[in-house]
Amino acid sequence: MNYLPNIIFAIALILGIGYFAKNVQKLIRNIKLGQPKDVSDNKSQRWKNMAMIALGQSKMVKRPIAGFLHVIVYVGFVIINIEVLEIIIDGLFGTHRIGLSILPESVYGFLIGSFEILAALVFITVVVFWVRRNIIKLRRFMSAEMKGWPKNDGNFILYFEMVLMALFLVMNATDTTFQNIASGNIVSQFIAPLFSGASEGTLHIIERSAWWLHILGILVFLNYLYFSKHLHILLAFPNTYYGKLTPKGQFDNNDAVTKEVKLMMDPDADPFAAPAETEEEEVPAKFGASDVQDLSWLNLLNAYTCTECGRCTSECPANLTGKKLSPRKIMMDTRDRLEEVGKNIDTNKGVFVDDGKQLLNDYITKEELWACTSCNACVEACPISIDPLNIIMEMRRYLVMEESAAPMELNNMMTNVENNGAPWPYNQMDRLNWKDE
């Protein structure tokens, strides 16, 4: 018996999975560059969110057409890849359609028939997606940040899926053993006549070629994910689990700053009183974020999870009125900078060496940050619980508290709070004069 194909298959499988595992380790390391954030609360609600949003696609279908098409691809791709188990067993042990020897012919035929229907539906749906992007040119796919690699990346994924589905159907159509049982060839029976003039040997070569290309294509696709926006296939689950549970309008406040502001606003507070020994406040070394390492690990997970669908930007009132802000670009810039930092660490043997760049200004401008109205429309629109607003607010916090670089209107207001204990430009003694008018 010739074991060479099995050895080649095993080597390809080990290399493919090994390279994927290496990239997963790099991904986890990059995410851990972020600041700590406790998300251990309310585990039951988190599991529910993951089941409803990531698995159940509940937010995706809020836009019915795109949502329905996405569900077809999502369900089809997941279920069809059950067939990969049979391919791996056949590849490692030299069997052919091991499922036929384990399962009743009718059950095996039902499974493969279901896979063929889903493969055909996925192929058609992916073509529709390609048309929407490249022919109809939906506005949310035509933004400035979607030029070049992001546009090509979206198309590459679609081509991958088309080819993988086509190879699966061709593999079945040219497998004479499978076609002869006449069970499960629901779609492939209509493709088989295209090869009716081919000899048995030629059909076998085509079937084997399609089989090899299908499994190698899946391994290539798996490893392409790290470099693609389609990491959300894997990261949507942890991202929705760790998603924000507090009300969307509720912001994180620093305790030390909150105490100071309360003292300023409290007319009975003694600004010269010594703090109690039990009230020692831990003042952070840096307020807000100017680079990716200043953001929380959850922000960085969000950045890697973003699928660039553009729903956030299409709902953003600032973007709709012509402002420079695009929440999608905020996430893409964060991911790009994080990747740059990760490569810096790789190059310098595990240590980050200052490259003179940062997320603020080199990727995201002040104009973008101050265009945000903090309305949470982007957070509500995201189908996988990404929070661009939190990144924006952390970078604003840095601008205000570290650089005093807020717009003039905000600086005037904060100066009034500091000097007068109120946002208005009146002396504290005059704060109640309005009641006499």
Q: Which pLDDT score is estimated for 83?
A: 87
CA trace torsion 12, 15, 19, 20 (10° rounding):
50
Q: pTM of the entire structure?
A: 0.89
417-431 confidence digits (pLDDT tens):
778 777 878 777 776
Residue 153 CA, chain-centre distance (Å), reads: 14
How far, in Å, CA of 248 to CA of 143, rounded?
26
Q: At what angle do helices 327-347 and 297-305 cross, to 10 degrees?
A: 110
What is the identity of the amino acid at 186? I
CB 381, CB 314: distance < 8 Å: yes
Residue 164 makes CB contacts below 8 A (sequence gap 6+) with 214, 217, 218, 221
pLDDT higher than 80, residue 433: no
pLDDT 10s digits, 154-167: 999 999 999 999 99
Q: What is the pLDDT of residues 234-263, one digit of tens each?
A: 999 999 999 999 888 888 887 777 877 777
In this prediction, residues 128-141 reach a mean pLDDT of: 93
